[in-house]
Structure 1
């Protein structure tokens, strides 16, 4: 049985135009996967890129995510549910709380002969690049561009933590940034593991530690600039020093790694 699908208002027309406004239509659509399917968790999960022309002749770009029996168990779903269902709820939560993230265009799930299946369609972030790709050209960027990217990433993580949430898998590849004439923009992706910050600052430092340990390119001064921007402080003070010490204690204990 298929539950009533979610269709974003700004995607309804283009999906209807291509007869892709139903679970079955998206589930059976022939499309090339962007990478090898994930076959963990006892099922499979795949991602395809989708480009659709709207009524104005403009191309709207999406990522079509489909999964079958690719489930996770939680306290609310002890028997398991598709991981995309969890991510879709997170996308909605982030939108309500004003945390910049990827946008959902369509979501639906069903149980087909004992198979838990889900379809999640998200808008492509083609104007953005993940932080790890920015790192690859870090040496080619101007000081002003680097400063803008650092401040934008810090503001994004601060917005997340101000909402009492943590990403819980905050790798550079999940932080999407863009530069434009008015500064930078930032969004988070891959929200399957996000949760409330139950342990307050300890959880927040855990998030920051993950990002810190996997960001090997920035210099020490650039890392400090990130922390100060995250804390909203122009310079180091007693509070900022205590925060940096707490972050470094966790990082030193785990060791820098990719």
Structure 2
């Protein structure tokens, strides 16, 4: 059974690390042993039944010239989330993030709100949703995916793990037409490259290899639209 916690207005970011660390829930990503540590994700609910996701890490570090002794990957993910939010790219809403080092061991937490009503691009194509979608909705989905990724890459950011399971979509139907919201998840491998073209090559190659049930025709439509946006937006890149 999930532990329940109260989140009075304005309290979340001031909550203590230990309080969040001892809030236990259901594992949705069991702890993986890697990077000389472990990392996993739990689903938790507040007393108000708000759904949250808590990424928990112990000794799960990355190293770079600025941090040769290692730094929690959660802190790199936080930096990427903040950067993408400034670019107008939707990411999960931050509730709490912190890291502590005790007796030489790092612990880190990243708590975010659930993306209510969203499904992954992987789930979308694996289900009957894609087959039932109107041509207009399908076109808008591919167009918005192209806009989001071109904005990411023109700013020099590389997702680093751009699988369909990390791209989330929410479809809307209205009298005025169908439209789609998109968001990016799992940014712990994200980093800013010196050249946006390098970020683009890495991410698109990765997405193509792991596109799963995405039809080749959809991929070609996406690539053509993405290339068009890259050319059009390049003069306005940050």
With the shorter chain as reference, the TM-score category is 0.7 to 0.9
Tell me how many residue pairs correspond in the alignment: 220
Cα-to-partner distance string for 1:153-177 (whole Å, 9 max, x where unaligned): 1121112113221212211111111
**1:77 equivalenced with 2:55 (yes/no):** no
What is the TM-score of this pair, normalised by structure 1? Answer: 0.76
**Map of 2:30 onto structure 1:** 36
Instruction: Identify the residue that residue 220 of structure 1 maps to in structure 2.
Output: 216
Question: Structure 2: which 5+ residue stretches go unaligned?
Answer: 1-5, 233-238
Q: Aligned partners of 1:46, 1:209: CA distance in 2, in Å?
A: 26
Runs of 4+ in structure 1 deviating by more than 6 angstroms, as ranges, are none
**Partners of 1:83 and 1:156 in 2: CA distance:** 23
Q: 1:156 aligns with which of 148, 151, 154?
A: 148
**2:68 counterpart SS class:** coil
Per-residue CA shift, 1:63-103, capped at 9, x if unaligned? 01111111111221111111111111111121223222222
Cα distance in 2, alignment partners of residues 86 and 97 from structure 1 = 17
- SS at the partner of 1:208? helix
Q: Work out the CA distance in 2 between the residues paired with 1:152 and 1:87.
A: 23
How far does the alpha carbon of each residue in 1:94-127 deviate from its partner, in whole angstroms, 9 at most, with x for none? 1223222222210111111111111110111132
CA distance in 2, matches of 1:139, 1:213: 22
TM-score normalised by length of structure 2 = 0.82
Give the strand-richer structure, 1 or 2. 2
**Aligned partners of 2:17 and 2:41: how far apart in 1?**
15
How many angstroms apart in 2 are the aligned matches of 1:231 and 1:12?
44
Is contact 1:175-1:186 (8 Å) kept? yes
Aligned-partner SS, 2:26: coil
Which position in structure 1 is the counterpart of 2:235?
Answer: none
Considering only aligned residues, what root-mean-square deviation do their CA atoms show, in Å?
2.5
Cα pair 1:152 1:184 within 8 Å, conserved = yes
Secondary structure of the 1:126 match is coil
Q: Which has the larger radius of gyration?
A: 1
Q: Distance in 2 between matches of 1:43 and 1:202?
A: 29
2:159 and 2:203 in contact (8 A); partners too: yes
1:89 aligns with 2:79: yes
How far does residue 132 in structure 1 lie from its aligned partner after superposition? 0.6
CA contact (8 A) 2:156 2:195 kept: no
Q: Distance in 1 between matches of 2:14 and 2:27?
A: 18
Partner of 2:192: 196
Q: Mean Cα displacement is larger for which, 193-202 or 159-168?
A: 193-202
Contact 2:24 2:44 in 1 (8 A): no
Contact 1:177 1:187 in 2 (8 A): yes
Q: Which runs of 5+ in 1 are unaligned?
A: 1-10, 234-238, 241-258
CA contact (8 A) 2:157 2:196 kept: no
1:200-249 residue CA offsets vs partner (Å, 9 max, x unmatched): 3243122112112211433333222112221336xxxxx89xxxxxxxxx
**Superposed counterparts of 1:204-243, under 5 Å:** 204-232=200-228
